[in-house]
Structure 1
């Protein structure tokens, strides 16, 4: 994979990855400090697609807003920048399929580390929502690129 030489995008990407890791692992210490002390009684993993998403969307009134928002839209929003930054940095990732595969490997790695360290919960729905965020980010990048090309073409007519 060829790396784009724009150092500002690379710095932004490194900052972004740091935030993702913070929210994925260190953030658990804030939400569940007992896990850092070795108490894992509240850990439950989800391997059934759309079970958690369905629960949050149909029973949203049973959760406080922060829990509901973070576990649904937060998972999407957190990974939208990945759909923008990966294709900008790794120019070989030109299509959506390659982006989804690369993102899936990274997201799955995070989920497995959460599973084995118990600093987080392995949830198949997190993977689905994260990938949705990646795809939405890529769509934003694609639309911006098309818009930018139209402006440049229009400017030189």
Structure 2
């Protein structure tokens, strides 16, 4: 698998693994997010879609900008690298649906681990926001690809033009 990979794919794997380590640290071990050594005594979960998203949007002035940004924006931005790097490291993920599905499944795994080990909260809204982040990361990947192709075409046209004159 890695042997047949291009340099770009290998570099994508390295960055993706660092991203996964960074994400795991913040989701499961970071004292900043209250994860540390204190596991919750009982299970915490939300199975109602958009319940927490709605609550954070409606009460954003009460919960504060920092909590709003961490919960809503943080879940989206935290998964954008996943959607960006999946198409780089895997040819199958170059289809938007596969990237969305893998982002969702990865988010489901994280939420399930949080539920089992009582670290954080199993939240359907987090899975929705994480999947949205994966999709936005994929869109960013497509924009970068489109821009690279356009730049290459312009350079090629400029080189051909200079050869003719």
Q: TM-score, normalised by structure 2?
A: 0.84
**Rg larger in structure:** 2
SS in 2 for 1:137: helix
Asked if structure 2 preserves the Cα contact closer than 8 Å seen for 1:86 and 1:93, the reply is: yes
Distance 2:125 2:46 in 1: 8
Per-residue deviation at 1:38? 4.7
Please give the per-residue CA displacement for 1:51-108, whole angstroms capped at 9, x wherever unaligned.
0000001100111332221111000000001111111001221211111111211110
Query: Which of 6, 17, 33 is equivalent to 2:20?
Result: 17
Structure 2: gaps (5+ residues): 158-165
* Contact kept in structure 2, 1:4 and 1:91, CA below 8 Å: no
Among candidates 21, 31, 34, match of residue 32 of structure 1: 34
Indicate yes or no: 2:74 matched with 1:69: no
Q: What RMSD in Å do the two structures reach over aligned CA positions?
A: 2.0
Are 2:114 and 1:111 equivalent residues in the alignment? Answer: no
Aligned to 2:145: 145
Higher relative contact order (CA 8 A, sep 6+): 1
Deviating beyond 6 angstroms after TM superposition, the runs of 4 or more aligned structure 1 residues are none
| Count of residue pairs brought into register by the alignment | 154
TM-score normalised to structure 1 length:
0.88
Q: Secondary structure, in 3 states, of the residue corresponding to 1:40?
A: coil
